[in-house]
Amino acid sequence: MTAYSWLTFLTARQQLASRLADTGNVFWTDTECGIYVCQALRMFNVLTFTWKQDFVFNSSTLWNSLATLTNSPRIRTLTDTYCYTLMEYMLLEPPTGGTWSGTSQFTINDFSTALRRNAANIKLQPDVAF
Amino acid sequence: MLLSNVAIVPNTRRTYLPDTVIDVERVRYIPVTGNPNTLYRDDTVAQEFYEAPLYQLGSGTPETFMLTSEPPLAWDVDITPNLPGTYEAVVLKSGAAFSPPTATLLNIPDDFAWVLIWGAMADLLGRESEATDRLRAAYCLRRYQDGLNLLLKTPWIMLAKVNNAATDMPSIAAMDRYAPEWDSTPTSFGPCIVIGGIDFLAAPTGSGIGATVLANAPVPSLDADYVQVSRSNWDVVLDLAQAYATFKMAGAEFQSALELEARAIQACSAENSRLKSMGSFSDILVQRGQAQDRNQERYNDARQKSQPSEGTK
């Protein structure tokens, strides 16, 4: 799905770094800026319902999940490691994903327990038959 | 998701579920011989009122089920099954446990991963520890709750086609009421697409299915990839990204960045209104994915009061 071709990812990250007065990527690394841009794009989509898309598939089974069907535009790809990395950035800890190398304020078990508890809470909401 | 092949023990009223199941939406009785029967959902009071003498009923074909309110999660049927067979249930499952450093799929729509992150951050910053930061914990909790509300309103599916013909999108509850045993003819029911919860649907097998859905936001990964955003909306996205980035600064800097976030959310709301105004029935379009919740409101109402019910729209 390509609708716009005027702003590259590289430029977008640089513009964010510039907004943060950190064009040298001293306080916010280039990778980190990329993650924030992607998160902002996702947030923008759920707030505006922008990316409506037609999806065609052959139903070979009665029950289907758009989260797993091949080529589904709603396929789920993000893992807990992605969340750990983002949370590590936001808490000024080394962004090492699922392996902890940060301060003694947290452990990776704290992160995974907090994620698991909230994932279960989200799924208890009505209409969320994940 | 579908939980198949739950073994039936003949003449047993109660069926226990694994602890990975957190809720049950629907149960179907499938005996080894004879016709399946979708069980109407009930509770003890209703069963005692309308199926007296409930506890003296002989075994036969179950007609209703009720969820137990005490742990572990289980359901009881009104009439104990007299034949072996299986139950098939539509359930909510807790998903795989996270075990870092092995990466595990979140099993939450990609665009809503941030809800989970804010919830977890609220926990981490809100507990009594060296890392306690009440101000940011409160902010994270607010974002988490906002995210939940947003998730419940997400128009994950808007239109449907079966073999290129436009079709209705009733909920499972509506189909069970008005077309009982519809799933006994999986190739020919409807034609329609039956809505479960987010991303979960039933469609006639062997047919070409079309669905207009809210896709995941396209996100770039390579330097040369184009960011999929219009020129008019880039500033809004940049505001959101900047607000995320300043979170780690905490204190006054973070507080002042919240103005940016508020501005961005307001702009998103305006963009949403603009897109909605492009269709006469946009209000209906964006609610169709929540049909199962509306039609099961007797059971969902206690869990969530903020959703409008069908009768109050």
Q: Cα distance from B90 to chain A (closest Cα, Å)? A: 8
Specify the range with the lowest mean pLDDT, choosing from A69-83, B166-180, B216-230, B298-312. B298-312
Nearest to A56 among B95, B150, B209 (CB): B209
Q: What angle do CA B13, B16, B17 make, to 5 degrees?
A: 140
Average pLDDT over residues A5-23: 97
Reduced to 3 states (helix: H, G, I; strand: E, B; else coil), residue B271 is helix
Task: Indicate yes or no: CB of A64 within 8 angstroms of CB of B201.
Answer: yes
Q: Cα distance from A50 to chain B (closest Cα, Å)? A: 8
Task: Indicate yes or no: CB of A33 within 8 angstroms of CB of B245.
Answer: yes
Reduced to 3 states (helix: H, G, I; strand: E, B; else coil), residue B19 is coil
Residue A102, in any domain of the structure: yes
The one-letter amino acid code at B203 reads: A
Please tell me the total count of domains within chain A.
Answer: 1
Asked if pLDDT for residue B307 goes beyond 60, the answer is: no
Predicted pLDDT at B282: 78
Task: Indicate yes or no: CB of B22 within 8 angstroms of CB of A106.
Answer: no
Query: A9 or B282, which is more confident?
Result: A9
Domain borders along chain B are: 2-93, 108-154, 155-212+225-297
Predicted pLDDT at B309: 38
Counting residues of chain A whose pLDDT is more than 70, the rounded percentage is 95
Residue A103, in any domain of the structure: yes
Residue A112, in any domain of the structure: yes
The complex's ipTM?
0.95
Instruction: Give me the domain span that covers residue A82.
Output: 78-125
Helices (H), ranges, B193-307: 234-246, 251-276, 282-285, 291-295, 297-300
Nearest to B217 among A44, A59, A122 (CB): A44
Q: Cα distance from A26 to chain B (closest Cα, Å)? A: 13
CB proximity list for B306: less than 8 A, separation 6 or greater = B149, B152
**Nearest Cα residue in chain A from B247:** A90
pTM score, whole prediction: 0.90
Question: Per-residue pLDDT tens for B190-242?
Answer: 899 999 989 999 999 999 999 999 999 999 999 999 999 999 999 999 999 99
Residue A9, in any domain of the structure: no
Q: Cα distance from B123 to chain A (closest Cα, Å)? A: 6
Predicted pLDDT at A84: 97
Residues of A in contact with B245 (CB under 8 A): 16, 20, 28, 32-33, 36
Residues of B in contact with A126 (CB under 8 A): 152, 293, 296, 300, 303-304, 307
Question: Per-residue pLDDT tens for B22-67?
Answer: 888 899 999 999 999 999 998 888 888 988 888 888 899 999 999 9
Task: Please state, as a whole number, how many other Cβ atoms lie within 10 Å of the Cβ of residue B42.
Answer: 20
Residue A91, in any domain of the structure: yes
Burial B44-78 (b: 16+ CB within 10 A, else e): eeebeeeeeeeeebeeebbbbbbbeeeeebbbbbb
Task: Indicate yes or no: CB of B103 within 8 angstroms of CB of A98.
Answer: yes
Asked if pLDDT for residue B167 goes beyond 90, the answer is: yes
Look at residues A106, A89, A117 and name the one whose alpha carbon lies nearest to residue B144.
A117
Predicted pLDDT at B311: 36
Counting residues of chain A whose pLDDT is more than 90, the rounded percentage is 87
Average pLDDT over residues B279-288: 80
CA quadruple B305, B156, A45, B249: dihedral positive or negative? positive
Residue A24, in any domain of the structure: no
Residue A19, in any domain of the structure: no
Q: Helices A30-48 and B113-126, interaxial angle, to 10°?
A: 120
Asked if pLDDT for residue B256 goes beyond 60, the answer is: yes
Question: Per-residue pLDDT tens for B87-121?
Answer: 999 988 887 789 999 999 998 999 999 999 999 99
